[in-house]
Amino acid sequence: MFKPTLLTAAVFAALTSTAYADSITGTVTDTAGNPVANARVQLMGANGETRTDDNGRFVLAKVNAGDAELHIEASRFAHRNVHVDVPAAGLDNLSVVLFATTIETIDVKASPFHASATESSLPVNVLAGDALKMRQAATLGDTLKNEVGVHSNFYGGVSSSPIIRGLDGPRVLITQNGLDAGDASRVGPDHGVASEASTATQIEVLRGPATLFYGSGAIGGVVNVVDERAPTSSTPRAEWMLQRESVNNEKLVAGSAVNGTDMFAVYVDGFWRDSDNYSIPGFAESVPEQGAEKGKVENSGQTAKGGTVGASWLLDNGYVGMSYGRLEREYGIPGHSHGGHDDEEHAHEEEQVFADLTQNRWQLLSEINVDNSLIRAVNTRLAYTDYQHAEIENGVVGTTFANDSYEARVELLHRTFNHWRGGLSLHYKYSDFEAIGEEAFTPPSESKTLALAWVEERHFGHWLVQLGARVERVTIDASDMRLPDIAAHGHDEAEHGNDKEEHDHDHAEGLSRVFDVSQKFTPYSLSAGTVWDFAEGYNLGVSLSRSQRAPSAAEMLSFGAHIGTQSYEVGALFTLDGDEFVLNSQPVKLETANNLDITLRKFSGNTGFVLNAFYNQIDNYYYQQNTGLFAESGHSHDHGDEHDHAGELPVYLFTAADVRLHGFEAQYFWQINAPFKLTLQGDYIRARLKQGGELPRTPPLRISAELAYEQDAYSADLRASRYFKQDRTAALETATDGYTLLDASLSYRFNLGGQLLTAYLKGQNLTDEEARVHTSFLKDLTPLPGRSVALGLRGSF
Give the binding range for another protein (CB under 8 A) out of 468-476, 697-705, 758-766, 789-797. Answer: 468-476
Give which of 50, 323, 294 is closest to 177, Cα–Cα: 323
Give the binding range for another protein (CB under 8 A) out of 3-11, 88-96, 710-718, 762-770. Answer: 3-11
Cα(656)–Cα(664) distance, integer angstroms: 25
Q: How far is the CB of 13 from another protein (least distance, A)?
A: 11
- CB proximity list for 325: less than 8 A, separation 6 or greater: 229, 306, 307, 308, 309, 359, 360, 361, 363
Q: Which of 49, 289, 349, 577 binds another protein (CB under 8 A)?
A: 577
Cα(255)–Cα(249) distance, integer angstroms: 20
- CB proximity list for 431: less than 8 A, separation 6 or greater: 180, 182, 403, 404, 405, 446, 447, 448
Cβ atoms within 10 Å, residue 261: 9
Q: Which of 54, 85, 493, 516 binds another protein (CB under 8 A)?
A: 516
Cα(141)–Cα(508) distance, integer angstroms: 44
According to the binding rule CB under 8 A, does residue 594 interact with another protein? no
Q: Which of 420, 430, 515, 676 binds another protein (CB under 8 A)?
A: 515
Give the binding range for another protein (CB under 8 A) out of 151-159, 201-209, 583-591, 695-703. Answer: 583-591
According to the binding rule CB under 8 A, does residue 252 interact with another protein? no
According to the binding rule CB under 8 A, does residue 727 interact with another protein? no
Cα(385)–Cα(402) distance, integer angstroms: 10
- Kindly list the distances between the CA atom of residue 612 and the CA atoms of 23, 100, 148, 681, 722, in Å, as whole numbers in the listed order: 40, 22, 10, 11, 20
According to the binding rule CB under 8 A, does residue 523 interact with another protein? yes
Give which of 623, 597, 474 is closest to 171, Cα–Cα: 623
According to the binding rule CB under 8 A, does residue 573 interact with another protein? yes
Q: How far is the CB of 2 from another protein (least distance, A)?
A: 6
Instruction: For another protein, give the closer residue by CB, 259 or 575.
Output: 575
Cα(90)–Cα(65) distance, integer angstroms: 7
Give the binding range for another protein (CB under 8 A) out of 188-196, 521-529, 663-671, 731-739. Answer: 521-529
- Kindly list the distances between the CA atom of residue 769 and the CA atoms of 82, 533, 721, 737, in Å, as whole numbers in the listed order: 50, 44, 12, 12
Does residue 407 contact residue 36 with C-beta atoms inside 8 Å? no
Q: Which of 93, 261, 418, 585 binds another protein (CB under 8 A)?
A: 585
Bridge-partner residues for 576, per DSSP? Answer: 581
Instruction: For another protein, give the closer residue by CB, 451 or 685.
Output: 451
> Residues, the chain, total?
797
According to the binding rule CB under 8 A, does residue 509 interact with another protein? yes
Q: Which of 314, 550, 563, 629 binds another protein (CB under 8 A)?
A: 550
Cα(126)–Cα(512) distance, integer angstroms: 48
According to the binding rule CB under 8 A, does residue 575 interact with another protein? yes
Q: Which of 35, 90, 340, 484 binds another protein (CB under 8 A)?
A: 484
Single-letter residue type at 155: Y
According to the binding rule CB under 8 A, does residue 7 interact with another protein? yes
Q: Which of 62, 496, 507, 643 binds another protein (CB under 8 A)?
A: 507
In the shown chain, the binding pattern of residues 405 to 434 toward another protein, with x for contact by CB under 8 A and - for none, equals: -----x-x-----------x-x--------
Does residue 335 contact residue 782 with C-beta atoms inside 8 Å? yes
Does residue 616 contact residue 593 with C-beta atoms inside 8 Å? yes
Q: How far is the CB of 545 from another protein (least distance, A)?
A: 15
According to the binding rule CB under 8 A, does residue 194 interact with another protein? no
Q: How far is the CB of 561 from another protein (least distance, A)?
A: 14
- CB proximity list for 270: less than 8 A, separation 6 or greater: 199, 254, 255, 256, 305, 306, 307, 308
According to the binding rule CB under 8 A, does residue 657 interact with another protein? no
Cα(545)–Cα(468) distance, integer angstroms: 9
Give which of 357, 272, 364 is closest to 324, Cα–Cα: 364
- The DSSP result for 686-717, as a single string, is EEEETTS-BPTTPPPPEEEEEEEEEETTEEEE
Q: How far is the CB of 524 from another protein (least distance, A)?
A: 5
Q: Where are the beta strands (DSSP E) in 227-352?
A: 237-245, 250-260, 264-275, 302-315, 318-332
* Three-state DSSP state, 15: helix
Give the binding range for another protein (CB under 8 A) out of 71-79, 393-401, 574-582, 755-763. Answer: 574-582
Does residue 577 contact residue 517 with C-beta atoms inside 8 Å? no
Q: Scan residues 334-393 and list those touching another protein (CB under 8 A).
A: 368, 370, 372, 375, 378
Bridge-partner residues for 409, per DSSP? Answer: 381, 427
| φ, ψ dihedrals at 266, nearest 5° | -125, 140
Number of residues that bind another protein (CB under 8 A): 64
Give the binding range for another protein (CB under 8 A) out of 229-237, 323-331, 477-485, 759-767. Answer: 477-485
Cα(240)–Cα(258) distance, integer angstroms: 12
Instruction: For another protein, give the closer residue by CB, 577 or 658.
Output: 577
Q: How far is the CB of 466 from another protein (least distance, A)?
A: 21
Give the binding range for another protein (CB under 8 A) out of 6-14, 37-45, 225-233, 704-712. Answer: 6-14
Q: Which of 305, 326, 473, 749 binds another protein (CB under 8 A)?
A: 473
Name the maximum alpha-carbon separation found in the chain.
95
Instruction: For another protein, give the closer residue by CB, 4 or 87.
Output: 4
Give the binding range for another protein (CB under 8 A) out of 126-134, 225-233, 515-523, 527-535. Answer: 515-523
Instruction: For another protein, give the closer residue by CB, 427 or 779.
Output: 427
Q: How far is the CB of 51 from another protein (least distance, A)?
A: 28
Cα(483)–Cα(557) distance, integer angstroms: 9
According to the binding rule CB under 8 A, does residue 548 interact with another protein? yes
Q: Which of 290, 586, 673, 691 binds another protein (CB under 8 A)?
A: 586
Instruction: For another protein, give the closer residue by CB, 249 or 617.
Output: 617
Give the binding range for another protein (CB under 8 A) out of 143-151, 196-204, 267-275, 502-510. Answer: 502-510
Bridge-partner residues for 459, per DSSP? Answer: 464
Q: Which of 452, 542, 646, 761 binds another protein (CB under 8 A)?
A: 452
Q: Which of 22, 276, 485, 710 binds another protein (CB under 8 A)?
A: 485
In the shown chain, the binding pattern of residues 12 to 51 toward another protein, with x for contact by CB under 8 A and - for none, equals: x-xx------------------------------------
Does residue 611 contact residue 666 with C-beta atoms inside 8 Å? yes
Cα(437)–Cα(379) distance, integer angstroms: 40
According to the binding rule CB under 8 A, does residue 587 interact with another protein? yes
Cα(670)–Cα(673) distance, integer angstroms: 9
According to the binding rule CB under 8 A, does residue 490 interact with another protein? no
Cα(47)–Cα(370) distance, integer angstroms: 9
Give the binding range for another protein (CB under 8 A) out of 134-142, 281-289, 494-502, 507-515. Answer: 507-515
The strand pair at 172-176 and 179-180 is best described as antiparallel
Q: Which of 11, 89, 315, 732 binds another protein (CB under 8 A)?
A: 11
Cβ atoms within 10 Å, residue 9: 10
According to the binding rule CB under 8 A, does residue 691 interact with another protein? no
According to the binding rule CB under 8 A, does residue 643 interact with another protein? no
Cα(184)–Cα(143) distance, integer angstroms: 19
Q: Which of 524, 615, 664, 724 binds another protein (CB under 8 A)?
A: 524
Instruction: For another protein, give the closer residue by CB, 36 or 218.
Output: 218
Contact footprint for another protein (CB under 8 A): 2, 4, 7-8, 10-12, 14-15, 368, 370, 372, 375, 378, 410, 412, 424, 426, 450-452, 471-473, 480-482, 484-485, 507-524, 548, 550, 573, 575-578, 582-590, 592
